[in-house]
Amino acid sequence: MSETRVVLCGPDDGVVRIRFESDAGIQILSESVCQELGRILKSFDDEPPRILVFEATGRTFLAGASLHELKALDRRSARRYSRRGQKLFRRIAELPSITIAAIHAPCAGGGCELSLACDFRFLAESARIGLPEVTLGLIPGWGGAARAIRQLGPAAARRMILSGELLPAAEALRIGLADAVYADAEFGVSVDARIATFKRCAPQAVGAVKRFLAEGHHLDLADLMAEESRLFGRCYATSEPPEGIAAFLEKRSPKWPAGDEPPVEEAAADSTNPPTSE
């Protein structure tokens, strides 16, 4: 099996692409690939992209983890292996960027787990996706089982995980595992068209609402609304609302300022004061 390469492309008008490729066209999430992916993600700490797209070339999107590495694990090392993968994909889930998995071909195991850490999964109509770990005597260990329950609901997660099947794109769309399915011949163009719609979104507002959506299930309704109001107010600590409203009224595309952040003292207050109902 040829080595999988992780190629960083961009930024191009706010869009960064991470492309998995190999000479054989079958991409594997080996330890070395995960380390390189982690290095790239860490480089986004100071300046995250507005939109991050994961894509691949060849016969697969991602075929999962390395079977040779899985075979070498024991009970203790397997737990460490799982935690490293969870930490890596949590980096993706916690990015303030809009994240997209553009899945053109089969996506299995660790590849599906990576896609579940993204905001959106777009599939080509011939693509299949799933978590086949039970067919290897395993369970998803990089956050896939947990995210499947949270995002798809217990019934759909059970159907996917216990069968070990790779679901057709149409079935993935039906259960919410895919956000859109596009014709194979038009897949790249269709994904790019969707990306273009996301360019209208203000980056600071996107980051705020992603945190709200990720953390909101921990709060009761009153605290959830209080947190919503707090984040709504914080939008006005940036220059995004004036630009967004002006662009709409002037019938033009907004020009979002780069590096626009809330005042330091407000950011500090936000981190120390828990949301309370009013």
**Active site positions, annotated:** 113, 133
Number of other CB atoms surrounding residue 150 within 10 Å: 14
Q: Is 199 helix (H, G, I), strand (E, B) or coil?
A: coil
CB 181, CB 125: distance < 8 Å:
yes
Q: How far apart are CA 198 and CA 177, in angstroms?
A: 20
Do 111 and 64 contact (CB within 8 A), yes or no? yes
Q: Side-chain half-sphere of 222: how many Cα atoms within 13 Å?
A: 3
Q: How would you classify the pairing of strands 120-124 and 15-21?
A: unpaired
What is the Cα–Cα distance from 130 to 106, expressed in whole angstroms? 9
Q: Which residues of 52-82 are buried (b: 16+ CB within 10 A; e: fewer)?
A: bbbbbbbebbbbbbbeebbeeeeeeeeeebb
Number of C-alpha atoms within 13 angstroms, CB side, residue 56? 32
Residues paired with residue 107 on neighbouring β-strands, in sequence order:
62, 129
Query: Are the CB atoms for 117 and 99 separated by under 8 Å?
Result: yes
Please name the residue ranges forming H helices in 127-202.
144-152, 154-163, 169-175, 187-198
Given a contact cutoff of 8 angstroms between Cβ atoms, the answer to whether 20 and 5 are in contact is yes
